[in-house]
Amino acid sequence: MKSDLDALMQARNLDALLVLGSAEHNPPMYYLTGGGHVSGATLIKKRGETPVLFCNDMERDEAAKSGLPTRSMSLYPFSELMKEAGGNQSLANALGTKKMLADLGVTKGRVGIYGHVELGSAFAALTQLQRIAPDLELVGEHGMDSVFIRAMETKEEAEVERIRRMGQITTEVVRLTAEFLTSCEVREDEVLLNEKGEPLKLGEVKDKIRLWVAERGAELPEGFIFAIGHDAGVPHSAGNPEDLMRLGQTIVYDIYPAEAGGGYFYDFTRTWSLGYATPEAEELYGQVKEIFDKLWENFDLNVSFKQYQRMTCEYFESKGHKSQLNFGSPTEGYVHSLGHGVGLNIHERPFSGLMTGDDHRLSPGVVVTSEPGLYYPERGMGFRIEDTFWVRPDGRMEMLADYPYDFVLPMKKWKKK
């Protein structure tokens, strides 16, 4: 939680945090400012103190909405910094940052560096800053273990409510997608037809999904996956817009919308086969569903997340599939990890990889996904089921959105002969 930041800074001996970039689509900045239309800011948080937001005069009203104390960048006129820097922009930026830090009393000690930004400029400026401020130690924290990711790991109830709301939007959109697909006419060769009687392309379905998400005021900042057949068998294939929608092929539909402006995400996957499924697909889907249910029954408070990844690998290997447990990095079978935290980042702590530490646990307050899957691109099929759940402060596990797990979706205007 946000209130953990000072203790985390203390534990890592960080005297200040320096966060760069815009307020939107920039999780650490969003976390402290609440987002808003602040396009380029510098935030400095000293340990034990309220963060201070340095912003452009043009964005002063937006910056003030953060509720944080703000200071105008015009106190550090770029023309004077450029003169002082002999025309070197990176040095000018470094001089400005050094002055901002000094004005808050940060002239020595360890300063953590954060923000989703253009790397070239930032790396150049930080290298200069380190040179002109040798008493400061600039600390790059690994993004998946930074004080922010640690603080964000445990959600406040208000954050969970926002994630839950995104879950409602997500499942509404998924329901509309299922209704649309199952209402289509079907051609002799099992290709779906669109409203104009033409073969329905996957890209058309994706366009509708984007629209349904936008209608609900959400965004798809990281895209989404809607893939059929071979592409469903490649976990991160987004799907080929030119593919035709057909009966009897597996469709992996993995959708992770976020609040507009770079807010909280939800993460969700279903696998469908329209009209009917092949016996092989039915069997593999049944295995994914079986381990999904078994995991749900077994998730327990404060157990390390990777134990469930191990359980999933063991289950799939017992069924004859490859997994990361004994096959390195397979490209067929169960090829990824079980889940991850979800919040302002689509992937955040805790993680479930077999090599993650024991401190990645189902602790009270985490919001995580469970997403076992099987992938056989050469056989033209793939499967994944994913829900997002909250480990409540009372230790109960709560799915944040409900949606049926039907694999075969019956077509309203088609029957198997």
Site for a copy of itself in 121-140 (CB under 8 A): 121-127, 138-140
Residue 78 binding a copy of itself, by CB under 8 A: yes
Query: Which residue number, 300 or 359, has a Cβ lying nearer to a copy of itself?
Result: 359
Q: Are strands 268-274 and 16-21 parallel, antiparallel or unpaired?
A: unpaired
Question: Would you say 146 or 370 has its CB closer to a copy of itself?
Answer: 146
Minimum CB distance to a copy of itself smaller for 124 or for 399 = 124
Contact status: 159 vs a copy of itself (CB under 8 A): no
Least distance CB 208 / a copy of itself (angstroms) = 10
Residue 57 in the binding site for a copy of itself (CB under 8 A):
yes
Closer Cβ to a copy of itself, 130 or 182, answer by number: 130
Stretch that binds a copy of itself, among 59-67, 97-105, 179-187, 394-402 (CB under 8 A): 59-67
Which residues 305-344 are close enough to bind a copy of itself by CB under 8 A? 328-329, 331, 335-336
Q: Could you tell me where the DSSP H helices lie in 278-405? A: 279-298, 306-318
Task: Choose one: 44-52, 113-121, 280-288, 290-298; the region binding a copy of itself (CB under 8 A).
Answer: 113-121
59 sits near a copy of itself (criterion: CB under 8 A): yes
With CB under 8 A as the contact rule, the residue among 82, 191, 311, 399 that binds a copy of itself is 82
What are 279's two structure tokens? 């016996």
Can you tell me which of 52, 104, 113, 399 binds a copy of itself, judged by CB under 8 A? 113
Q: Does 156 bind a copy of itself (CB under 8 A)?
A: no
The residues near 331 (Cβ < 8 Å, ≥ 6 apart) are: 375, 377
Nearer to a copy of itself, 186 or 346 (CB): 346
Single-letter residue type at 306: K
At its nearest, how many Å lie between a copy of itself and the CB of residue 73? Answer: 9
Cα–Cα dist 254/375, whole Å: 14
Compute the distance between CA of residue 401 and CA of residue 300 in angstroms, rounded to an integer.
Answer: 19
Among 12, 60, 294, 392, contact with a copy of itself (rule: CB under 8 A) = 60
Q: Which structure tokens are listed for 346?
A: 């689509």
- Choices 76-84, 263-271, 274-282, 361-369 (CB under 8 A): range interacting with a copy of itself: 76-84
Among 189, 197, 279, 355, binds a copy of itself (CB under 8 A): 355
CA distance 205 to 143: 35
The answer to whether residue 213 forms part of the interface with a copy of itself (CB under 8 A) is yes
Binds a copy of itself by CB under 8 A, chosen from 30, 31, 33, 36: 36
Residue 241: cis peptide before it, omega within 30 degrees of 0: no
Output the six-digit token pair for 342.
């979800």
Half-sphere exposure of 153 (CA within 13 A, CB side): 21
Output the CA angle 171-173-178, nearest 5 degrees: 90
Stretch that binds a copy of itself, among 111-119, 189-197, 243-251, 359-367 (CB under 8 A): 111-119
- Whether 17 contacts 147, CB under 8 Å: yes
The CB-side HSE value for 94 (13 A sphere, CA atoms) comes to: 24
Q: Give yes or no for residue 13 binding a copy of itself (CB under 8 A).
A: no
> Rounded to whole angstroms, how far apart are CA atoms 47 and 6?
6
Q: How many residues bind a copy of itself (CB under 8 A)?
A: 72
**Would you put residue 197 in left (φ > 0), alpha (ψ -120 to 50) or beta?**
left
The footprint of a copy of itself on residues 230-259 (CB under 8 A) is 231, 234-238
Beta-ladder partners of 398: 390
The CA–CA distances, whole Å, from 208 to 114, 123, 197, 226 equal 36, 40, 17, 12
Give dist(CA 54, CA 68) in Å, integer: 10
- 90 near a copy of itself, rule: CB under 8 A: yes
Instruction: Return d(Cα 181, Cα 235) in angstroms, integer.
Output: 22
Q: Considering only residues 174-193, where is the footprint of a copy of itself by CB under 8 A?
A: none
Nearest distance, CB of residue 136 and a copy of itself, angstroms: 13
The structure tokens listed for 311 are 């359980």
Cβ distance to a copy of itself smaller for residue 65 or 319: 65
By the rule CB under 8 A, 62 interacts with a copy of itself: yes
What 3-state DSSP class applies to 401?
Answer: coil
* 143 CB-contact burial (10 Å; exposed 0-12 / middle 13-18 / buried 19+): middle
Residue 142 C-beta: closest distance to a copy of itself, Å: 5
Considering only residues 259-288, where is the footprint of a copy of itself by CB under 8 A?
Answer: 260-261
Candidate list 101, 117, 178, 374; residue touching a copy of itself; CB under 8 A = 117
